[in-house]
Amino acid sequence: MIHINKVIGNINSDSDLGKKYQTMLKNDKVEKIQVSRLEADRTRIRKLSNKGTDLALTMEPGSHINDGDVVLLTEEKMIITKRDLENIVIVSLNSDISTQQTLETSIKLGHIIGNMHRPIKVTNNKVYFPIQSDSEIELFKKLFHNLSKNIDIKNENMIFEPDLGYDIHGH
């Protein structure tokens, strides 16, 4: 078991680490640990890498694990984190609606999604929130039916990071 207590850097935001990752990947020296959204905010996690390396992570309270974080780096081995993909609904506002319609649709969307106690991320006129199964998208299409002329709705598997303060409340 290897004890880890900090993230070295991230292959997506640190170009040197990104280059090192590509080189080590070609030489089959990269290992991955899979981390869920819940685990990403924990301070203690024990994980096996995809090649069987046993890691005990003890992180500072308040730290957060991102996709592509490097948790171990030696000449022979780089271990990075892979965040779990989630089934995410993406609702986008149509660009041809008026300011008044945009305001009203946004408030009603927030009301409906809030009533379903989902965490959300809002960016670029789109709101993202997780569902637990494909069947749930039908539920949301029904709930949004009065807004259907003003929105597009689809779902994708992706990494989900809710906006700070808009995390889950589920009854």
Binding to another protein by CB under 8 A, coded x per residue (else -) over 24-53, reads: ------------x-xxxxxxxxx-------
Please answer whether residues 91 and 73 qualify as being in contact, where contact means their C-beta atoms are separated by less than 8 angstroms.
Answer: no
Looking up tokens 């709930």 gives 143
Find the helix or strand (DSSP H, E) in which 48 lies.
strand 44-48
Task: Tell me how far apart the alpha carbons of residues 72 and 55 are, in angstroms, rounded to a whole number.
Answer: 9
Question: Nearer Cβ to another protein, position 58 or 146?
Answer: 58
Segment contacting another protein (CB under 8 A): 54-62, 85-93, 107-115, 138-146? Answer: 54-62
Find the helix or strand (DSSP H, E) in which 47 lies.
strand 44-48
Please answer whether residues 63 and 44 qualify as being in contact, where contact means their C-beta atoms are separated by less than 8 angstroms.
Answer: no
Question: Nearer Cβ to another protein, position 20 or 118?
Answer: 118
Binding to another protein by CB under 8 A, coded x per residue (else -) over 111-140, reads: ---------------------xx-------
Binding site for another protein (CB under 8 A): 1, 3, 36, 38-46, 56, 58, 61, 132-133, 168-171
